[in-house]
Amino acid sequence: MATSKTIKNPAQSVVETRYLVMPHQANPFGTAFGGVIMSWIDMVASMAAQRHCGTEVVTASIDSLSFQEPVRIGDHVVLLASVNYVGKTSLEVGVKVMREDPITHKRIVATKAYLTFVSIDENHKPIPVPPLKPKTDDEKRRWNNAALRVKARKALRKQVQANNS
Ligand SMILES: CC(C)(COP(=O)(O)OP(=O)(O)OC[C@H]1O[C@@H](n2cnc3c(N)ncnc32)[C@H](O)[C@@H]1OP(=O)(O)O)[C@@H](O)C(=O)NCCC(=O)NCCS
């Protein structure tokens, strides 16, 4: 059982899953609804966050998403989620969404997403998350980039709050 003191590396909580796009998940032109992909992103990211924290987690925010490639009925959609960064009670999870051709297995990145989760206790109160120790160069790069996004998100929230008060 993880405690808030157990140091983990990102590889320990990686989640990979795949879905097959069905007709009811697509628009009349045969491409998947963005909202369907978004729900898969939230699901896979929350599992990675939960694996890292060893607690219940809630989605605090999802950064803006841009869909670079259409995903069509019959495509396999591969989602890879890993924890990029941890704060005190929150953590950022990055998700790479790839469209995979079912015959050739060729993969193309369709979109990337960054989600923030908060670890919560049984009273729904934020609690400390276990520390994260990036090991590989890629993990260190993701940590550094996530730290910039965390800073930017906090500054934006503060500014909006000040404007509204
Ligand atoms: C997310 C939630 C637990 C935060 O509670 P809170 O009392 O505002 O907590 P705090 O202000 O102490 O912030 C806790 C952490 O979350 C981060 N956080 C809060 N709101 C955030 C947001 N909108 N985006 C990113 N991070 C956020 C803070 O930076 C802080 O991180 P840190 O401890 O690592 O520094 C609370 O707003 C909540 O329960 N929201 C609803 C979540 C939900 O139901 N999600 C499902 C989708 S409907």
pLDDT tens digits along 47-68: 999 999 999 999 999 999 989 9
Sequence-separated (6 or more) residues with CB below 8 Å from residue 78? 16, 17, 18, 97, 98, 100, 107
Cα distance between residue 53 and residue 90, in whole Å: 10
pLDDT-derived band of residue 5, with 50, 70 and 90 as boundaries? confident
Distance, in Å, from the CA atom of 28 to the CA atom of 138, rounded to the nearest integer, reads 39
pLDDT at residue number 149: 97
β-strand partners of 93: 83, 115
Tokens linked to 96: 């790479």
Q: Which of 123, 140, 119 lies closest to 2, judged by CA?
A: 119
Mutation pick for ligand 1 pocket among 38, 62, 84, 90 (CB with most ligand atoms within 8 Å): 90
Residue-wise pLDDT tens digits, 95-143? 999 999 989 999 999 999 999 999 999 999 999 999 999 999 999 999 9
For 160, residues 6+ apart whose C-beta sits below 8 A from its C-beta are none
User: What fold, for 10-164?
Assistant: Thiol Ester Dehydrase; Chain A (3.10.129)
Q: Residue 142: what are its φ and ψ, rounded to 5°? A: -65, -40
Pocket of ligand 1 (CB under 6 A): 58-61, 87-90, 116, 118, 120, 126, 153-154
pTM of the predicted protein model: 0.95
Q: Taking Cα atoms as reference points, which of 130, 123, 118 lies closest to residue 58?
A: 118
CA distance 134 to 118: 20
